[in-house]
């Protein structure tokens, strides 16, 4: 009787956490990277974007050429009548390229061509809000751009690539660091030590968090955004595997791209999606035109997969997945 009670208590806990640990999530795949294939994979998910739709992407640092181009994503954004949403960054640099304040950020967004096609919203341009986190290991809340409250549905549209601090950038990073205000970014990077950005100290040893604490904070913040939209009309995740440098779109002058473009993946589970993208990189063969070595070293050096492990642990999703190829045979 005791064992039966404990087993059912464990199942109840899993249900409360929202994890799908006993099931495999579906990750849809197309090897074609085009405006039409983005729309096709969105529709394959079977979840219709409703209400006021936020399309969260990185609009890219000023001189970075690798961000998702407006011409690639425009058909999808038009199909869902979406608004491109962004937040200001938490680091300094060349005023012509950096996006740490709205005035500069708008210049980069315009230069990269987004305002030519879409309505764009810098969500923390005027204010920020705090939303609840479920995992309080490091954070007491998540600080996001105030305009997040203006949207009912989110398409988390990710450019999968490396990242200098996180090891890799995918859905979890786009949900956490991407949706955080400048102060929120400082809060996540310092694992809860600093909730108001101070450029002079946020990157000093006093405030820099242990690496795993930073990665765990990203997972917790990502879960907060997911929970927010699950209470509204919903959220989905799409990752484009092209122009994959070891550096993020937030790096002004990224390292050269050594990997061939792979395709587009999508899921209703951000953990499964990130795991699938990492697995694809791990399974790449080294050829004259395709070398995953540097990216794998970057992920390993920064313990990047711990983000995925922690996200599964706190119930954000499942690392177990099945690939569903939507390309015509």
Tens-place pLDDT, residues 99-109? 888 999 999 99
pLDDT at residue number 78: 98
Query: Which pLDDT band holds residue 72 (cuts at 50, 70, 90)?
Result: very high
186 with 194: CB under 8 angstroms?
yes
Query: Which pLDDT band holds residue 7 (cuts at 50, 70, 90)?
Result: very low
Mean pLDDT of 67-95: 93
Q: Residue 323, Cβ neighbours under 10 Å: how many? A: 14
d(CA 241, CA 221): 23
Going from the N-terminus, what domains does the chain have, and what CATH number goes with each? 25-325 (3.40.50)
pLDDT at residue number 23: 77
Tens-place pLDDT, residues 299-318? 999 999 999 999 999 999 99
d(CA 209, CA 190): 5
Per-residue burial over 55-71, b if 16 or more Cβ lie within 10 Å, else e, is bbbbbbbbebebbbbbe
**Gyration radius from the chain CA atoms:** 19
Query: Which pLDDT band holds residue 13 (cuts at 50, 70, 90)?
Result: very low
Query: Which pLDDT band holds residue 328 (cuts at 50, 70, 90)?
Result: confident
pLDDT at residue number 329: 66
d(CA 84, CA 119): 6
Tens-place pLDDT, residues 201-233? 777 888 889 999 999 999 999 999 999 999 999
Mean pLDDT of 275-288: 97
Return the minimum-mean-pLDDT range out of 19-23, 130-134, 288-292: 19-23
Whether the pLDDT of residue 6 is over 90: the answer is: no
Closest CA to 83 of 112, 123, 54, 115: 54
Whether the pLDDT of residue 33 is over 60: the answer is: yes
Query: Which pLDDT band holds residue 4 (cuts at 50, 70, 90)?
Result: very low
pTM: 0.92
Tens-place pLDDT, residues 124-143? 999 999 999 999 999 999 99
């Amino acid at each position: 009787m005791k064992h039966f009670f404990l087993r059912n208590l464990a199942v109840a806990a899993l249900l409360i956490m929202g994890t799908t640990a006993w099931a495999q999530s579906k990750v849809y795949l197309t090897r074609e990277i085009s405006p039409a294939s983005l729309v096709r994979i969105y529709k394959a998910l079977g979840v219709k974007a409703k209400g006021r739709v936020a399309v969260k992407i990185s609009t890219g640092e000023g001189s970075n050429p690798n961000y998702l181009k407006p011409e690639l994503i425009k058909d999808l954004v038009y199909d869902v009548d979406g608004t491109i949403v962004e937040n200001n960054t938490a680091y300094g640099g060349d005023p012509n390229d950096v996006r740490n304040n709205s005035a500069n950020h708008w210049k980069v967004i315009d230069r990269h061509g987004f305002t030519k096609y879409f309505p764009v919203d810098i969500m923390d341009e005027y204010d920020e809000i705090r939303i609840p986190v479920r995992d309080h290991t490091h954070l007491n809340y998540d600080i996001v751009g105030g305009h997040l409250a203006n949207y009912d549905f989110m398409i988390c549209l990710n450019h999968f690539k490396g990242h200098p601090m996180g090891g890799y950038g995918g859905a979890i990073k786009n949900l956490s660091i991407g949706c955080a205000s400048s102060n929120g970014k400082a809060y996540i990077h310092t694992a809860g030590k600093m909730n108001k950005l101070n450029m002079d100290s946020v990157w000093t040893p006093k405030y820099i968090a242990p690496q795993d604490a930073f990665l765990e904070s990203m997972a917790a913040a990502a879960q907060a955004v997911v929970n927010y939209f699950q209470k509204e009309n919903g959220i989905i995740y799409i990752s484009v595997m092209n122009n994959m440098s070891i550096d993020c779109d937030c790096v002004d002058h990224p390292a050269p791209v050594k990997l061939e473009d792979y395709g587009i993946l999508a899921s209703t589970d951000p953990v499964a999606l990130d795991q699938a993208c990492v697995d694809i990189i791990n399974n790449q063969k080294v050829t004259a035109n395709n070398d995953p070595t540097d990216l794998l070293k970057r992920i390993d050096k920064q313990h990047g997969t711990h983000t995925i492990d922690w996200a599964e642990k706190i119930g954000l999703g499942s690392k177990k997945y099945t690939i569903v190829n939507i390309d015509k045979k």
